[in-house]
Amino acid sequence: MFLQWAVPGAAFEPTRYGNSPRDDDIMNNAPVATVAQRGIPPRLRIGVSACLLGEEVRYDGTHKRYGFLVEALGAHCDFVPVCPEVEVGMGTPREPIRLVGDPAAPRLVAPASGIDHTRPMRRFARARVRALACEQLDAFVLKKGSPSCGLFRVRVWPEDQAELGGGGRGGGGTGVRGGIAEGGEAGARAGRGPARAGSRAVRTGRGMFAAALVDGMPLLPVEDEERLDDLAVRASFLARLVGYRRWKDFRAGRPRARALARFHANQRLLLLSHSPGIHRDLDGLVAEASAGNRPMRELLPVYGARYMAALAVSVARRNHATALRRLAVLCKSALDAGDRADLAARIEDFRLGRLPLAAPLILLRHHFRRHPHADATGQTYLDPHPAQLMLGPLL
């Protein structure tokens, strides 16, 4: 039963929402090349906890539809829905479940009945993650607080709360509502008493499927929906999402040292805006590859891990402004005094928070279209994916 997802018709099918608008539309009709022309397919592929897409798969038959995914990212992405609890065979509706025991290696139990789901869920999670590795995912968004899908700070209860036995709250359910585990609310409604004194949950766990996903696909960008409400986290997630697709496409070509040097050169301003320190580390790796001091089969995984680590660093406005000024220097000699002053003013207004990043980027792209420069050609910093341009004032 734990492989129910593999049976035809039992698994969730990839889902598409909306149509992908053209890059020119998002960039206010700026006359620039599209993202697809730079080598990034227009649609990305994201794994998602199925309840976030509006699927009624939660323990009580409800959903937790997340508008940012469906309405915003849905225009640019195809989704691969996953509900570990349904796919492992628990059904809907079902009794709430919770993590209990050691937070580093918890068990997954249904406290009302005492059923232990640990072994089937672990077997399912490992098999499902192996299958997802073949789905060409670019990222994953998980349900916050879930004992199967929760990424951070999931409740783990002490062993004496593994079974209710007429006392204690119900389990963690498939999410947290208003700071109380949904299973707990269900338990209270059923007339169960308060938790026994001294038997409190700790918020240090990770859902059983989420743990298998992070361990099995360590470079995959993963977030939960609550953290994505923070615009800084959202911007970081989108940068990693697009960057991971870019890196996978590059790796697929079985690159040699010269190709890695070109790839690295095209990421220069992007990496400098995120982390100058990691950019220096990557410079060293490229130098090793060019000198033939290290086999590419050993060097590429290290480069990829450091590349993704750089993109995980949030970009301050001052770092963006530094990158923009570097680009402005490249076109300075081709512009008249008025155009130079206008560009400098837009960069400064962005630095001070008066304009979004798109404003100076659009102007720079316009100038480089009219006055191409070899050092700007191919810079991914100049060509954000349409999905990254939905962040309003932050960008």
Q: Are residues 279 and 339 in the same domain?
A: no
Give me the pLDDT at residue 15, please: 60
Q: Are residues 283 and 337 in the same domain?
A: no
Q: Are residues 111 and 81 in the same domain?
A: yes
Beta bridge partners of 100: 107, 157
In a domain, 95, yes or no: yes
Q: Tell me which H or E stretch contains 269.
A: helix 268-274
Q: Are residues 103 and 217 in the same domain?
A: yes
Q: Are residues 122 and 151 in the same domain?
A: yes
In a domain, 232, yes or no: no
∠ CA 89-90-91, rounded to 5°: 95
Q: Are residues 301 and 330 in the same domain?
A: no
- Token reading at 155: 């409740």
Give me the pLDDT at residue 390, please: 62
Q: Are residues 214 and 337 in the same domain?
A: no
CA neighbor of 150 nearest in space, from 93, 227, 57: 227
In a domain, 107, yes or no: yes
Q: Are residues 285 and 376 in the same domain?
A: no
What DSSP letter does each residue of 133-186 carry, written as one string?
Answer: TTTT-SEEEE-TT-TTT--SSEEEE-GGGSS-TTSS----TTSEETTEEHHHHH
Side-chain-side CA neighbours of 172 within 13 Å: the count stands at 32
Q: Are residues 167 and 50 in the same domain?
A: yes
Q: Are residues 295 and 188 in the same domain?
A: no
Q: Are residues 213 and 72 in the same domain?
A: yes
Q: How many domains does the chain have?
A: 3
In a domain, 30, yes or no: no
In a domain, 233, yes or no: no
* Per-block mean pLDDT, blocks of 10 residues, the chain (395 long): 31 50 33 40 87 96 95 91 97 95 95 95 97 96 97 94 52 35 37 48 96 97 96 91 95 95 96 95 96 94 97 92 95 95 96 91 94 93 77 50
In a domain, 337, yes or no: yes
Helices 296-311 and 257-266: crossing angle in degrees, nearest 10, is: 10
In a domain, 307, yes or no: yes
Give me the pLDDT at residue 173, please: 38
Global pTM value:
0.80
Angstrom distance (rounded) from CA 66 to CA 140: 14
Angstrom distance (rounded) from CA 148 to CA 294: 41
Give me the pLDDT at residue 13, please: 55
Give me the pLDDT at residue 385, please: 78
Residue that terminates a domain, selected from 273, 294, 311: 311
In a domain, 35, yes or no: no
The domain of 191 spans 4-20+41-224
Q: Are residues 166 and 85 in the same domain?
A: yes
Residue type, 70: V
